[in-house]
C-alpha cells in the first residue's frame, strides 16, 4: 500500500451512509427500488473492502510504517479524526461485506416487507461496523458503536412479535449500559493522558507516571467491560441467546459479526496499549481475557447441549466463537506468540461465516410441522413465546428441487466447520490453535492443556447438539418436504461455497492471518505509521519536490 492518504479508505463508510439516507426518501411501497440500491451499495462496499485488503498486503511487515490512512479535514494526527487501514481492519471489512450480501439476498424473499425502513437500517448498520473497524481514535469508535447499535435496535425489532420485543428490550437496555461504561472509560483515559488517538496512546502508555497509570488502567478496565459486553463474554452474555434467536433470519445472520466488533476492539486496543512494549502496563487485562474466554466457551457448549431449538443453539455457537478468539488473544498478549493468534483469526473468519449460514437455515428447516418444528414449539411453550407465524411467509421466487438434500448438505457443512472436524476450515483453525498451545503458547502448561481441552470439548458438544437437531429434522419428519425458495437457499450456498474456498486456500488464508497477527503484535507499525502521516497539502508538496512518490 502506498504510504500516503488513501481516499478509498472512507468509501466503506460513505457508501452505506448515502445509500441508507437515499432510501429514506423512497416510499415503503417502492421496495424493489430500495432493494436494488441496498444490494448495489453492499456489493460496492465489498469490492472496496477487497481492494483495501489487497493493498494492505503490501509491505506491512517490512518496518517501513507502510499503513493506509485518511485524515478527515486534513488535520494531522493526533489532533484530527483519522481512519486507518491495515491487515486486521481490512480482514474485518471483507468479512462484513461477505455476510451483508447473502443476508440482503435472503431478505428479498419477503423478510424486508415485515416492517419499515429495513434497508436503510441495514445500511446504517454496515456504516457503523465499517467505521468501527477503520477509526483510529476512541471517541469516534464510540460514535460508530452508537451508529451500529441504533441500527441494530431497529433491525432486531423489525417485524414485531412478543419474542422480538422482549429480546429487543433486553438487548437495548444492556447495550445502553455498555455505551455508558464506554463513555466513562473514555473520559477517564482522556483525563489521564489528554488524548484519545490510539496511536498517540500507544506511545504514551510506556511513559505514564505512577500517578497517572492507575487512572488510565481504571478507564481502560471500564471501557474494556463495555467491549466484553458486546463480545458476549460470560457472565455478561445472558442477553445474547434470546436476542439473537428473536431476530429475523437475515438480521440474525448479520448479527453473527456483531460480537466480533467487541473482539476486534479488544484485539486492537489490547496490543496497542498493553502489548510487550507497554512498560508497566504490558499484559494488562490478558488474564481476564483468558479466564473470560474460557468461561464463555464452557457456557457456550453447555448451552448447545441444553438447547432444544436450533435458534438458541446457534446463538450459543456465537458465544463459543467469541470466547475461543478472546481466550487465544489473551494467551498471545501474555506472551504466547503469533501462531495461536493467527490461527484464532482464521477460526474467527471460518466460524462467523458458518454461524451466519446456520441462522439462515433455521427457518427453512422448521417451516413444516414435524421434526425440528416440534422441538421449537416445545421451546416456545416452555419460555412462553409466541409462534411467530409472521416469519413464515416468504413466497418470492422459485422453489428448489431436492429440498431436503440441499438443506441437509448445507446443515452438515455448517456442523462440520463449527465442530472443527476435518476436512473443512474449522478443523484448520482449531488445529492451528492446538499446535500453538501445545508448543508452549500459554504461560503455564496447565493453562495450555486446559484451553486445549476446552477446544476439543466445545467441538464435541457442537457435534452432539447439531447431530441431534439433524436427526430430528431429516430422519423423523413424516410430512412433505418444505417449500424453500431459491432466494432463501442461494445465500446459504454462497456462504458454504466461501467456507469451501477457505478450506482449499487454507494455506494462503492462514499465511495472511499469521502476517496479520505479527503486525498486530508490533504496535510500532501502527503508531508510527499514523503519527507520521503527512497532511494532504504537505504530501502534495513532497510529491512535487520528488521526496515522496
How is residue 227 written as a grid cell?
467491549
pLDDT band per the 50, 70, 90 thresholds, residue 476 = low
List the grid coordinates of 483. Answer: 417449500
Q: Using one digit for the tens of pLDDT, what is the confidence trace for 75-134?
A: 777 777 888 888 899 999 999 999 999 999 988 876 666 667 888 899 999 999 999 999
- Residue 445, burial from CB neighbour count under 10 angstroms (0-12, 13-18, 19+): exposed
- Highest mean pLDDT: which of 67-76, 222-231, 237-246? 222-231
Handedness of CA 34, 397, 493, 411 (dihedral sign): positive
Query: Before 78, cis peptide (omega within 30)?
Result: yes
Residues whose CB is less than 8 angstroms from the CB of residue 93 and which lie 6 or more positions away in sequence, other chains included: 12, 48, 49, 52, 53, 130, 133, 134
Please tell me the distance from the alpha carbon of residue 3 to that of residue 46, in angstroms, as a whole number: 23
Look up residue 128 and give its DSSP letter: H
Query: Mapping DSSP to helix (H, G, I), strand (E, B) and coil, where does residue 504 land?
Result: helix
Positive or negative, the CA dihedral 326, 266, 525, 203 is negative
- For 10-41, what is each residue's pLDDT tens digit? 999 999 999 999 988 887 777 788 888 999 99
Q: Which of 343-352, 435-444, 464-473, 477-486 has the lowest mean pLDDT?
A: 477-486
pLDDT(546) > 60: no
Q: Which tens digits make up the pLDDT trace of 179-236?
A: 999 999 999 999 888 888 888 888 888 888 888 889 999 999 999 999 999 888 988 8
**Lowest-pLDDT choice from 60-69, 94-103, 198-207, 455-464:** 60-69
Q: Which residues of 391-404 are buried (b: 16+ CB within 10 A; e: fewer)?
A: beebeebeebeebe
Q: Which residue has the cell 505509521?
A: 529
pLDDT above 80 for 52:
yes
Rounded to whole angstroms, the Cα distance separating 319 from 293 reads 9
Convert the pLDDT of each residue in 281-298 to its tens digit. 888 888 889 999 999 999
Q: What pLDDT, on the 0 to 100 scale, is given for residue 440?
A: 65
3-state SS record for 426-442: HHHHHHHHHHHHHHHHC
The residues, any chain, with a CB within 8 Å of residue 289's CB and separated by 6 or more, are 266, 270, 326, 327, 329, 330, 333
Q: How far apart are CA 262 and CA 230, in angstroms?
A: 5
What SS3 state is found at 158? coil
- Does residue 449 or residue 181 have the better pLDDT? 181
Grid-cell match 517490512, residue found: 62
- What is d(CA 53, CA 55) in angstroms, rounded to the nearest whole number? 5
Mean pLDDT to the nearest integer, 420-436: 89
Residue 71: pLDDT band by 50, 70, 90 thresholds?
confident
Q: Residue 249 and residue 355: Cα distance in Å, rounded?
A: 12
Is residue 373 within 8 Å of residue 146, measured between CB atoms?
no
Residues of the chain above pLDDT 90, percent: 34
Query: How much is the average pLDDT of 334-348?
Result: 87
The stretch 436-457 carries a mean pLDDT of 80
* Cell triple for 370: 414435524
Nearest to 259 by CA among 117, 356, 121: 356
Contact 275, 244 (CB under 8 A): no
Q: Which of 326-335, 390-399, 468-477, 526-535 tops mean pLDDT?
A: 326-335
Q: What is the DSSP string of 66-79?
A: --EEEEGGGPPTTT
Query: How far is the C-alpha of 134 from the C-alpha of 262, rounded, in Å?
Result: 14
Query: What is the torsional sign of CA 252, 255, 259, 260?
Result: positive
Gap between the Cα atoms of 525 and 522, Å rounded: 6
According to the model, what pLDDT value does residue 126 have? 94
User: pLDDT tens digit string along 392-412?
Assistant: 444 444 555 567 778 888 889
Question: Could you give the CA distance from residue 147 to residue 129 in angstroms, rounded to a whole number?
Answer: 8
* Average pLDDT for the chain: 82
Q: What is the pLDDT of residue 383?
A: 40
In whole angstroms, how large is the CA radius of gyration of the chain? Answer: 23
If we measure between CA atoms, which residue out of 29, 36, 263, 21 comes closest to residue 124? Answer: 21
pLDDT score recorded for residue 496: 93
Structure confidence at residue 351 (pLDDT): 93
User: What 3-state class would DSSP assign to 488?
Assistant: helix
**379-391 per-position pLDDT tens digit:** 443 344 444 444 4
What pairs with residue 82 in β-bridges? 71
Rounded distance, CA 46 to CA 219, Å?
A: 35
- Written as nine digits, the cell of 412 is 452438515
Whether the predicted pLDDT of 370 surpasses 50:
no
Strands (E), 75-141: 82-85
pLDDT band at 497 (very low <50, low <70, confident <90, very high): very high
Residues 6+ apart with CB under 8 A from 520: 87, 88, 267, 268, 271, 341
Using CB atoms within 10 A of its CB, is residue 363 exposed (0-12), middle (13-18) or buried (19+)?
buried
Q: Identify the bridge partners of residue 399 per DSSP, sorted by sequence position.
A: 485
Of 456, 446, 482, 278, nearest to 367 by C-alpha is 482
Bridge partners for 71 per DSSP: 82
Please give the pLDDT value at position 221: 92
Which of the four pLDDT bands, split at 50, 70 and 90, describes residue 261? Answer: very high
Q: What pLDDT does residue 380 have?
A: 44
Q: Which of 69-78, 91-100, 463-472 has the lowest mean pLDDT?
A: 69-78
Distance of CA 293 to the CA centre of its chain: 16
Length of the chain: 549
Q: In the chain, what is the straight-line distance between the N-terminal and C-terminal CA atoms, in Å?
A: 12
- Measured between alpha carbons, how far is 400 from 273 in angstroms, rounded to an integer? 52
Residue 70 pairs in a beta bridge with 83
Averaged pLDDT, 466-474: 84
168 pLDDT above the threshold of 60: yes
pTM: 0.87
pLDDT of residue 442: 60
pLDDT of residue 294: 93
d(CA 42, CA 24): 17
Amino acid at each position: 500500500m502506498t504510504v500516503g492518504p488513501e481516499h478509498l479508505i472512507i468509501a466503506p463508510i460513505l457508501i452505506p451512509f448515502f445509500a441508507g439516507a437515499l432510501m429514506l426518501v423512497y416510499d415503503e411501497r417502492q421496495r424493489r427500488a430500495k432493494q436494488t440500491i441496498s444490494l448495489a451499495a453492499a456489493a460496492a462496499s465489498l469490492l472496496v473492502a477487497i481492494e483495501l485488503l489487497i493493498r494492505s498486503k503490501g509491505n506491512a511487515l517490512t518496518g517501513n510504517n507502510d499503513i493506509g490512512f485518511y485524515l478527515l479535514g486534513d488535520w494531522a494526527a493526533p489532533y484530527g479524526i483519522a481512519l486507518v487501514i491495515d491487515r486486521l481492519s481490512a480482514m474485518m471489512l471483507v468479512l462484513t461485506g461477505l455476510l451483508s450480501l447473502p443476508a440482503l439476498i435472503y431478505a428479498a424473499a419477503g423478510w424486508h416487507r415485515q416492517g419499515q425502513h429495513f434497508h436503510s437500517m441495514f445500511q446504517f448498520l454496515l456504516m457503523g461496523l465499517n467505521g468501527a473497524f477503520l477509526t483510529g481514535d476512541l471517541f469516534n469508535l464510540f460514535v460508530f458503536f452508537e451508529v451500529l447499535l441504533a441500527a441494530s435496535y431497529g433491525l432486531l425489532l423489525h417485524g414485531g412479535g412478543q419474542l422480538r420485543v422482549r429480546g429487543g428490550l433486553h438487548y437495548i437496555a444492556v447495550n445502553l449500559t455498555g455505551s455508558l461504561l464506554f463513555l466513562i472509560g473514555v473520559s477517564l483515559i482522556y483525563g489521564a493522558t489528554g488524548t484519545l488517538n490510539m496511536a498517540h496512546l500507544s506511545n504514551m502508555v510506556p511513559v505514564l507516571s505512577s500517578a497517572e497509570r492507575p487512572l488510565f488502567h481504571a478507564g481502560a478496565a471500564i471501557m474494556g467491560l463495555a467491549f466484553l459486553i458486546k463480545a458476549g463474554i460470560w457472565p455478561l452474555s445472558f442477553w445474547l441467546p434470546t436476542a439473537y434467536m428473536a431476530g429475523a433470519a437475515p438480521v440474525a445472520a448479520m448479527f453473527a459479526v456483531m460480537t466480533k466488533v467487541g473482539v476486534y476492539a479488544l484485539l486492537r486496543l489490547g496490543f496497542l496499549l498493553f502489548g510487550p512494549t507497554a512498560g508497566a502496563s504490558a499484559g494488562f487485562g490478558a488474564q481476564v481475557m483468558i479466564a473470560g474466554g474460557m468461561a464463555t466457551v464452557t457456557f457456550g457448549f453447555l448451552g448447545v447441549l441444553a438447547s432444544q431449538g436450533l435458534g438458541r443453539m446457534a446463538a450459543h455457537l456465537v458465544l463459543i466463537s467469541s470466547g475461543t478468539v478472546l481466550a487465544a488473544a489473551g494467551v498471545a498478549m501474555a506472551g504466547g506468540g503469533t501462531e495461536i493468534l493467527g490461527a484464532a483469526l482464521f477460526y474467527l473468519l471460518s466460524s462467523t461465516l458458518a454461524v451466519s449460514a446456520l441462522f439462515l437455515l433455521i427457518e427453512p428447516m422448521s417451516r413444516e410441522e414435524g421434526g425440528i418444528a416440534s422441538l421449537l414449539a416445545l421451546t416456545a411453550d416452555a419460555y412462553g413465546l409466541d409462534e411467530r407465524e409472521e416469519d413464515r411467509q416468504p413466497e418470492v421466487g422459485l422453489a428448489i428441487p431436492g429440498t431436503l438434500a440441499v438443506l441437509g448438505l448445507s446443515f452438515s457443512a455448517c456442523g462440520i466447520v463449527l465442530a472443527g472436524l476435518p476436512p473443512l476450515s474449522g478443523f484448520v483453525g482449531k488445529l492451528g490453535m492446538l499446535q500453538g498451545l501445545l508448543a508452549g503458547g500459554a504461560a503455564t502448561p496447565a493453562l495450555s492443556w486446559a484451553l486445549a481441552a476446552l477446544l476439543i470439548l466445545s467441538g464435541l458438544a457442537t457435534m452432539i447438539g447439531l447431530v441431534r437437531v439433524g436427526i430430528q429434522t431429516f430422519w423423523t419428519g413424516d410430512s412433505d418436504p418444505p417449500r424453500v425458495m431459491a432466494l432463501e437457499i442461494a445465500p446459504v450456498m454462497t456462504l458454504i461455497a466461501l467456507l469451501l474456498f477457505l478450506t482449499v486456500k487454507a494455506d494462503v488464508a492462514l499465511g495472511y492471518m499469521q502476517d496479520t497477527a505479527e503486525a498486530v503484535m508490533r504496535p510500532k507499525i501502527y503508531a508510527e505509521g499514523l503519527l507520521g502521516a503527512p497532511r494532504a497539502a504537505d504530501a502534495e508538496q513532497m510529491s512535487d519536490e520528488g521526496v515522496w512518490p
